[in-house]
Amino acid sequence: MRMKELDLSKSQTIAALRGRRVLITGATGFLGKVVMEKLIRTVPDVGGIYLLMRGNRHYKDARSRFLHEIATSSVFDALREERGKWFEEFCEHRVHCVTGEVTAPRFGLSRSAFNTLASDVDAIINSAASVNFREELDKALEINTLSLNNIAELAEASGNVPLIQVSTCYVNGFNQGEIKEQVLAPQGKELPRHEQGYFEIYSCVAALQEKIEHVRGQFEGRALKGALIDLGIEEAQAAGWNDTYTYTKWLGEQLLLKMLRGYPMTIVRPSIIESTLREPKPGWIEGVKVADAILLAYARGKVSFFPGKRSGVIDLIPADLVANSILLALAEQFIDPGKHRIYQCCSGGRNPLTMGNFIDHITAEAKENYQHYDKLFQKPPQRDFKAVDKRLFTLVISTVRLALALFNQCLSKLGLRKKVRAKKNIDAAIELSAIFSFYAVPKYRFHNDRLLSLSKAMGAVDQVLFPVDSGAIDWQDYIRNVHIAGLNHYALNGQAHSTRSTSSAIEAAAKAITEKQPQRVPAKGEKA
């Protein structure tokens, strides 16, 4: 079935979302923009879109921020090209911006404003989060866990409207093996489990808050920030998670599962979100994501080896498949409300991409066509990019780093200021390893049988209009012809001669995973 042959009247998703007023948090983020664009484009008679966001130093209120940071995004280029005047009118009359802070009680709104917002919305999509793997514990806990008290309060005040909570597949933590769409138990901490399946976390959260206050009493300034980052990693790993981000997202899941018992709520867990497969344009991406930090470090000559298992599955998922999963899940809650559901949007169980193949596709494209990616490759790649055993990597790189450090000390004693550049590259490799090796040496595989069943149940039209099946991805074509081109064209736009350090790119990455012929992004010598 081709897109132009679709009978949209047979779309259960469009019918369920038509006329609905949907609140979206996190709309300034990568995924939030893709969700918003898809909702506007495919359900043009949606009742309205409400955006909750705080002001910033450039734009003091949500409306100004929307007009300058969201409405101008290239994610809406297709809408502007096809329905320019209509899109402008939609933004003016049916996009409602609410200036508020998701972590504040009632979002910082007056009681009357909060009640007005509650009476206006029919559904909530919460994608607001701190995705910094090594965030300060107090900030991560506040944004990823405790703010969900405010989201739940709004859902209840609105009349128990459907809530879609965007989480992450990596709430699996140190659980190994085949990871299903279900509530996951902690591997390092004993917590009481309710008969309805969720874990009681309030004593755990209280203990974390006590430790945060203790640290605040001991440090200040930059030392305090470092201590809170270290505390987050220490507590996460002791409880059974690799990093602060995934730990606090798991805690958030448990909080919502308890607070919204019996109410319509679906948790959608994406794996590593990367550039779009097809919509709104192939390769659309904003910022440097998880897997891209590795690619960028290789492209800039910072690293040529990385701790990874060639046979291990690196679970990438294009952003448009995630957005489609969110909208299908929301439509389902309108059609059959009142249940808690968990869906994983992933590729590992359905269409696994190994680390070895991922690296091979990158290096092959780099060798053959590096000159067409002017913002990504500043010069021809000099070496192959290899995955090595993590224990061997740690042993060798620590020894080499120590030797280089001693050599640099000798140079300093001789009055020579020049440092050995290799040490910086070693430091970059160590930083990459510390942040991402958990994701590159997986002992787990994610499955999404329930999501695929939902897609099938929604019917043939929605399977074409809102595809979620990663089995349709040709990984070689996606990585070489879609993703790398999109990364070069969108994420690195304006950075052709960037002097930004690899460490900055890694930090940004941490803050950050139809049948008609798609329009390709400019690549391989084509003009933008």
Q: Are 15 and 335 in contact (CB under 8 A)?
A: no
pLDDT (tens digit, 9 = 90+) per residue, 374-383? 888 888 887 7
Distance CA 440, CA 291 (A): 9
Run of H or E including 335: helix 319-335
Predicted confidence (pLDDT) at residue 519 exceeds the cutoff of 60? no
Coil, strand or helix at 145: helix
Check residue 223 and give its pLDDT.
Answer: 97
**For residue 133, what pLDDT band results from cuts at 50, 70 and 90?**
confident
**HSE toward the beta carbon, residue 228, CA cutoff 13 A:** 21
Percent of the chain with pLDDT over 70: 82
Check residue 404 and give its pLDDT.
Answer: 52
User: Could you check whether the bond before residue 280 is cis, i.e. omega within 30 degrees of 0?
Assistant: yes
Predicted confidence (pLDDT) at residue 403 exceeds the cutoff of 80? no
Q: Letter for the amino acid at 326?
A: I
Check residue 423 and give its pLDDT.
Answer: 53
Predicted confidence (pLDDT) at residue 231 exceeds the cutoff of 90? yes
Check residue 7 and give its pLDDT.
Answer: 86
**For residue 132, what pLDDT band results from cuts at 50, 70 and 90?**
confident
pLDDT (tens digit, 9 = 90+) per residue, 110-128? 999 999 999 999 999 999 9
Beta-ladder partners of 23: 50, 124
pTM equals 0.88
Displacement of CA 201 from its chain's centroid (Å): 24
**For residue 497, what pLDDT band results from cuts at 50, 70 and 90?**
very low
Distance CA 252, CA 82 (A): 39
Check residue 456 and give its pLDDT.
Answer: 98
pLDDT (tens digit, 9 = 90+) per residue, 466-476? 999 999 999 99
